[in-house]
């Protein structure tokens, strides 16, 4: 190998190293944006920082594998066989989390294959779609179901209370009725449906102002809360 060949080989390796570094950094940067959008639009109680890290790290691994495979079919088959040995047993309860992980892997694959424009545009459109669906609350059914409890003395007239409940709710149904305070009072539990979250305080204040009613409590089950 003469000097010209050595020089061209060195230039080729430098360009390959630069392209690989660019692809890996692009995958890392784009999935940072994916992770930020996931955190900002997350709803619920079971937040996992590990899932956000997995989105970012998975893209780097996918990009590295695509760079390693290149145009080699043998390398692709070998890596596919190696990955088949690994069993991923982590269960994602929310399909939305699965889509974020899949988007991170897609970003890494596109970056590793050199399709940088597709990686950037795809990530931007994915983030825009997530933000739009979250802000517009697309597909949600805000019903504001809740469980209302209060105590009423034995023998008290319930006609006025039922009229009050119907005036402040869209739906009301008796769930349980049991004796408390050594038989001196009855605890009522109603399933209710509110038309607006602003009616919560109004309903509780109206009940507390009714003579004889004690220990008023309203437990709401929001549709975004995971139980």
| Per-residue tens of pLDDT for the chain, all 227 residues | 555 454 444 445 655 788 888 999 999 999 999 999 999 988 776 778 888 998 999 899 888 888 888 777 766 666 665 566 556 666 777 888 889 988 998 898 888 888 889 999 999 999 999 999 888 877 766 666 788 888 888 877 778 888 888 888 888 888 888 888 777 888 888 888 887 777 788 888 888 888 888 888 888 765 444 44
24, 61 contact by CB (below 8 A)? no
Tokens of 75: 């390398």
- Where does residue 138 rank: exposed (0-12), middle (13-18), buried (19+ CB within 10 A)? exposed
CA distances from residue 159 to 25, 125, 193 in whole angstroms, order as listed: 69, 56, 19
145, HSE (Cβ side, Cα atoms, 13 Å): 7
> What kind of fold does domain 145-221 have according to CATH?
Alpha-Beta Plaits (3.30.70)
Domains of the chain, residue spans:
3-136, 145-221
pTM of the entire predicted model = 0.61
**In this structure, are residues 150 and 188 in contact, taking their beta carbons and an 8 Å threshold?**
yes
Q: Give the integer Cα–Cα distance in Å for 5 and 2.
A: 5
Element (DSSP H or E) covering residue 79: helix 73-85
Distance of alpha carbon 227 from alpha carbon 215, whole angstroms: 25
Element (H, E) at 167: helix 159-168
């Amino acid at each position: 190998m003469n000097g010209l060949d050595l020089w061209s080989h060195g230039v080729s390796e430098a360009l390959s190293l630069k392209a690989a570094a660019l692809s890996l950094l692009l995958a890392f940067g784009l999935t940072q944006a994916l992770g930020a959008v996931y955190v900002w639009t997350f709803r619920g109680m079971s937040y996992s920082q590990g899932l956000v890290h997995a989105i970012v790290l998975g893209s780097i691994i996918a990009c590295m594998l695509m760079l390693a495979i290149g145009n080699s079919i043998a390398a692709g088959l070998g890596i596919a066989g190696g990955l088949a040995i690994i069993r991923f047993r982590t269960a994602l309860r929310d399909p939305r989390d699965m889509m974020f992980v899949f988007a991170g892997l897609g970003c890494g694959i596109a970056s590793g294959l050199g399709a940088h424009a597709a990686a950037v545009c795809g990530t931007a459109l994915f983030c825009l779609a997530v933000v739009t669906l979250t802000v517009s609350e697309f597909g949600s059914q805000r019903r504001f179901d809740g469980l209302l409890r209060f105590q009423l003395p034995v023998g008290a007239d319930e006609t006025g209370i039922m009229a009050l409940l119907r005036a402040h709710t869209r739906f009301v149904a008796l769930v349980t009725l049991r004796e408390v305070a050594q038989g001196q009072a009855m605890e009522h539990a109603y399933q209710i449906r509110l038309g607006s979250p602003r009616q919560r305080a109004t309903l509780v204040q109206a009940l507390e102002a009714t003579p004889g009613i004690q220990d008023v409590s309203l437990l709401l089950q929001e549709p975004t809360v995971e139980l």
